Structure 1
Amino acid sequence: MAWRARQLRVLTRTLQTQARHDYLPQEDLGEPPYIRPAGVATPRQLVQYLDEFVIGQENAKKVLSVAVFNHYNRVRANLSTMESDEDDMDWPDASADDGVSSARINPHPWRLPIPPVGLQPRHPIPLFEKSNVLVIGPTGSGKTLLARTLAKVLDVPFSVSDATSFTQAGYVGEDVDMTIQRLLQAANWDPQRASTGIVYIDEVDKIARKSGGGGMEGSRDVGGEGVQQALLRMMEGSTVSIQSKAPSSVESPISGSGEGRTRPGPRGSNTNFVGPKPDTYHIDTSNVLFILSGAFVGLDNIVKRRVAKGSIGFTANLPQPEDDNSNGFMPFFTPNRTSQNILDLVEPADLVKYGFIPEFISRLPSMTTLAPLTVPDLRRILTDVRGSLISQYTALFGYSGVEIRFTTPALNEICKKASERGGGARGLRGIMENLLLEPMYEVPGSDIRYVLITDAVVRGEQTALYWSRGEGVQFWSAWAKHAAVEKKLHKTKGAS
């Protein structure tokens, strides 16, 4: 027996085991490198891309870029937290101590020992809440262009909706669920991809609470406050059920009779006919980012009344009657200071006075404003940005085989008239359409091959200058003459 025990001891000493998982020493690994997730650009890169299409509005670009970047960081963090919670539910009970350990458990050698369940509660990583964005700015300042440009650069589902057609559920109009349905369509009917998309709602100021009522029983605001109430849960995070298609009206019999005729009886009473049922998708909006925008006409007057400081005396700065929203009545107390962009001072209380319920505004923690476009901004929109108006009309005339040119004073005059007219970039396009109406009417089908627009043409003092085929030398001579005059005037102004 002693010899057998000695032999067994020798065998056990020479027995070698191999680890199921190979782990590198901790000092050899070093610090894990940071790898930026693929498909998500940094906020600075998003701003650089927006600069190619949108002029100015630096603060709005930063707010939207940071909101988009942080949103998808939250999405990844929330999804990883949910996956880790699911893994922890499958983790075996560490408090069971029966002397037998499972062979399937291969803990990492650096992992801290898991405390017993009853001694120390485990604190999971909290889920990050999203920050929806509200964009306020006058018409033509670039609100929709910012959203459309973001939709191009982001490889995520992106839906655009107009709030003017929204009504409360059960009334004529679109339900707010249509925003999620458009998002699902943009995601190619992939619910998981649609649940991490972006919803852009334009003209959100049109769903402000309507003041007044009328009638003994009053009137229900189905297009204002009713829509705000419907958007509350969706913006906070809820599950929306969307039906992809309506059931088909053509039904095929299960039993192969070969006749293809329906049996007598009321429609739908035959149980042998089974039609296709509509697919229902359930979209969780907890990880859907909502970007809302609107012009908010009249909001500046509410802000002015809040920030106005009263002053009396002969040296008080009195505003113009048209600046006050009181039907020409001049108040005794007038504001002492004015702001270049009064919308920068907007607070949630101002939006509540405008007609929004506090619950709706509290779900829009991130807010930014867009300033009206100045004359230099309009000039850059006209010539510098990608897809500028000058390049568009140059290409439009090029389809007719015509070359059109604008002098520098003509471009400055166009921007000046657009600034006086108002409407931002839309007003600029309106002036271009009126200015080029006659050339666009005369050129197609004629022998005109060259068109020159000067500042006198913009002011309406003369018509556009035309040259026919073979008169390119005269066209370039006139172009050079105007350029020389412009250069001389520029030197004269610089010397003075």
Structure 2
Amino acid sequence: MEESLLPVAIDAFLGQRVLGQKDLLTRISVSLYKHIHGLPAPNVLLIGNSGTGKTTLMQAITAFYDAHESLSRLRVMIVINANTLAAEVVGEDRTTRLFNKLEARAKVLFGADVTAAELKDYLENATVCVDEVDKISGRISGKPNVSGIATQYALLTMLEGEQFLYRATVREDGREVEVDLPLDTGRLLFICGGAFEELYDQVYGCLVNRRDDRRLKEVSEVERRADGTVSVRTVARFKLCDYLRLADLFTYGMMPQFISRFGSIAVLDDLGREELRRIFLEAANSPLRLTMEYFRHMGIRLAVTEGAVNAIADAAAKNSRIGARALREIFNGLIAPHEFDPFHSPRLAQTESGPTLTIDQETVTQYLCRMD
């Protein structure tokens, strides 16, 4: 067996692209291993605030398939918004519409001349990523959401692993013909994710109002001051993963039969200071890297001091509801005036390395104070 396809190696590959979320990557790695080898693979439901890495994970899975030639037949993968599965016309078969997207993706990857047998194999072994799945809740603002319930039922058809007869278009003897493909949907891998923002407030409300047997746990924290003194305080920390029950998802508006089709439910951790710092410095799409490239085109070197990086990461960590996106909002706002007219920026100076625009901790602090 190719060593790079073992769960630990899959985890290492994904971990280079998704910073943090160790528990999540472990679960995804096992699901991908089973999917690759034709074993029943548990579908995964991701619950996490915006900016915690759901979209980045989906991109990393695509990169993993692309990096291994032996997995070419598994490369049919789509990322769709759950709301796009809502019926556009009365009586529309939404399962067919999803397979239409998969067929189109397969033909982009492998050409329009795929045979019926090849297309059947590609479609049955596809990976379907559904984003914002929380938006198809059966209840919105306390009112029934009929469209959401219908969309959950549409996905349920495939999550249950039923046989589905799909009419596809293939080429035979140089001409296009329609063929009926019996598809085993049980071989598809589903990775669904959503912010489930109201779920956090819902579960927290249960705890503080003592609606069931769950109670907030208190922990002791040690604080060491600069003068050498130490203090201990007791605090109550709320993390959804510590308290979430399946019944909470049912109350939120997700059907029990829909939730039960996910073999793994992962609550993504809010990104802390160190994770955000790494993302800012190391991620391929980091606002820092993109901005450095922008200034490089102008012949200017951008330097961000250690203190500035820490100040940006600290500020972003306070915006846990938007995660890594807080890095982009803070840094883009900070750097915008310097991007517009860098040659007249007070932060620009001539150094041994050439024209250098330096962002230090004081610059970040002043910007954050103006934003407060």
Say whether the fold is shared (TM-score over 0.5): yes
Decide whether the 8 Å contact of 2:14 with 2:64 is kept in 1: no
Give the direction of change, closer, same or farther, for the CA distance of 1:227–1:457 in structure 2 (3 Å limit). same
Q: How many residues in Structure 1 have an aligned counterpart in Structure 2? A: 320
| Residue 306 (structure 1) shift | 4.5
| Corresponding residue for residue 105 of structure 1 | none
- Counterpart Cα distance in 2 of 1:310 and 1:451: 54
| Residue 179 (structure 1) shift | 3.2
- Counterpart Cα distance in 2 of 1:358 and 1:310: 24
Secondary structure at the aligned position of 2:50 is classed as coil
Superposition pairs for residues 236-251 of structure 1, below 5 Å? 236-242=160-166
| Corresponding residue for residue 234 of structure 1 | 158
Decide whether the 8 Å contact of 2:334 with 2:364 is kept in 1: yes
- Counterpart Cα distance in 1 of 2:343 and 2:91: 46
**Amino acid paired to 2:123:** A
| Corresponding residue for residue 54 of structure 1 | 18
| Corresponding residue for residue 297 of structure 1 | 197
Alignment partner of 1:224 is 2:148: yes
**Amino acid paired to 1:144:** T
Decide whether the 8 Å contact of 2:169 with 2:176 is kept in 1: no
- Pick the aligned partner of 1:202 from 117, 126, 131: 131
Q: Which runs of structure 1 show a deviation greater than 6 angstroms over 4 or more consecutive aligned residues?
A: 444-448
| Corresponding residue for residue 364 of structure 2 | 458
Can you list the C-alpha shifts for 1:97-144, whole angstroms capped at 9, x where unaligned? xxxxxxxxxxxxxxxxxxxxxxxxxxxxxxxx4421111111100011
Share of identical aligned residues, percent?
A: 27
Larger relative contact order (CA 8 Å, sep ≥ 6): 2
Decide whether the 8 Å contact of 1:64 with 1:133 is kept in 2: yes
Point out the more displaced range, 281-290 or 131-140: 281-290
| Corresponding residue for residue 161 of structure 1 | 80
Give the direction of change, closer, same or farther, for the CA distance of 1:194–1:58 in structure 2 (3 Å limit). same
- Pick the aligned partner of 2:6 from 35, 39, 42: 42
Give the direction of change, closer, same or farther, for the CA distance of 1:169–1:394 in structure 2 (3 Å limit). closer
| Corresponding residue for residue 415 of structure 1 | 313
Alignment partner of 1:143 is 2:50: no
| Corresponding residue for residue 402 of structure 1 | 300
Decide whether the 8 Å contact of 1:52 with 1:386 is kept in 2: no
Alignment partner of 1:71 is 2:29: no
Can you list the C-alpha shifts for 1:164-213, whole angstroms capped at 9, x where unaligned? 22214744999344333333333336221221121111100000012589
- Higher percent of residues as helix: 2
Decide whether the 8 Å contact of 1:168 with 1:222 is kept in 2: no
| Residue 72 (structure 1) shift | 2.9
Superposition pairs for residues 114-153 of structure 1, below 5 Å? 129-153=40-64
Decide whether the 8 Å contact of 2:138 with 2:146 is kept in 1: no
Under a length normalisation based on structure 1, what TM-score does the superposition of the two structures give? 0.57
Alignment partner of 1:369 is 2:369: no
Give the direction of change, closer, same or farther, for the CA distance of 1:226–1:443 in structure 2 (3 Å limit). same
Superposition pairs for residues 278-293 of structure 1, below 5 Å? 278=178, 281-293=181-193
| Residue 373 (structure 1) shift | 0.8
- Counterpart Cα distance in 1 of 2:302 and 2:285: 17
Superposition pairs for residues 326-337 of structure 1, below 5 Å? none
- Counterpart Cα distance in 2 of 1:195 and 1:392: 38
Structure 1 residues without counterparts, runs of 5 or longer = 1-35, 78-128, 247-274, 320-335, 463-496
Alignment partner of 1:192 is 2:121: yes
| Residue 232 (structure 1) shift | 1.2
Under a length normalisation based on structure 2, what TM-score does the superposition of the two structures give? 0.75
